[in-house]
Amino acid sequence: MLNRLALKNMCRGVIVLALGITTWANSQAFAADWTIGANIGNVPWEFAERDGSYAGFEVELVQELGKRLNRTIDIQNLPFEGLIPALLSDRIQIGIASMTITDERLKSLAFAQPYFDADQSVTTLASSSVTNLDGIKGARVAVESAATSDIWATKNEEKYAFESISRYDSMGPAILDLQAGRVDAFIADMPAIAFYIKDKPQFHIVDRVPTGEQYSLIFNKSFADIASINDVISQMKQDGFLAGLHKKWFGTDPAKDSSTVVVKPLPVAK
């Protein structure tokens, strides 16, 4: 026969077990349909407001996708270079980071149709003597790690004889080092840097680096909602939702022949 102490301990164990099961059940019940990895700090695509909420072009895009497809979403902050490993390990199903569609990425992952056309750019201090792309020969350049700017700088390192290539997790620290004179130029996505420095006259975009990039959502290939999401993106182009986002975040209407307006096929590796 159990004594009182043993009985009390048994009851406590049952209560703890029950609470644990309830907590697990609740976490399962409220799990989002889509877990989305976002490169928070990538203005104006995805960033944190003062109250901690997330905002930006791509944040509004995935929120609208969730509404139209009746899916709940959970946006998690991940560094750019962590998005692809998280997708490959199925910790997230969707990545947003103004991600460029490339053949290399299409070998292991999937993209929706593109919704934004872009190039790279060279940004310096306004007081710099650099006036164009050729001016960064022999310079100390900054890029975002694993981004298209990193790929371009690495590929062209010998051509431009860079003194160094400094790699950063996000735009903010790179800009701070540019301002402090620790690097001479920052190579980055044109739309993102143009938005970031529009109220910072100490910086100046001196040249465009033509790369013909197109941005889209990136997925694990096993993700079941790829086709549905792509269909809704087509609808968003046709009903003007994406054009409205372009106007809101960049202050201009998209070009009529751009990927923000024209319905495109799903990208496939060449």
The total of other beta-carbon atoms located within 10 Å of residue 177's CB is 16
Are 208 and 122 found together in one domain? yes
Tokens 């910790």 belong to: 91
- The residue with greater pLDDT, 158 or 22, is 158
The pLDDT confidence band at residue 30, using thresholds 50, 70 and 90, is: low
Taking only Cα atoms into account, the Rg of the chain, rounded to an integer number of angstroms, comes to 23
145-157 pLDDT, tens digit each: 989 999 999 999 9
Total domains, the chain = 2
Residue 48 lies in a domain: yes
The pLDDT confidence band at residue 251, using thresholds 50, 70 and 90, is: confident
Cβ atoms of 69 and 236 within 8 Å: the answer is: no
The pLDDT confidence band at residue 16, using thresholds 50, 70 and 90, is: very low
- The residue with greater pLDDT, 190 or 114, is 114
Final residue of a structural domain among 212, 242, 259: 212
Using alpha carbons, list the distances in angstroms from residue 57 to 123, 195, 233.
Answer: 22, 12, 14
Are 109 and 220 found together in one domain? yes
Q: Please say if the pLDDT value at position 7 is more than 80.
A: no
Average pLDDT in the chain: 89
Residue 196 structural domain = 118-212
Query: Which CATH number is 88's domain given?
Result: 3.40.190.10
For the chain, percent helix, then strand, then coil, each to nearest 5?
A: 40, 25, 35
138-186 pLDDT, tens digit each: 999 999 998 999 999 999 999 999 999 999 998 999 999 999 999 999 9
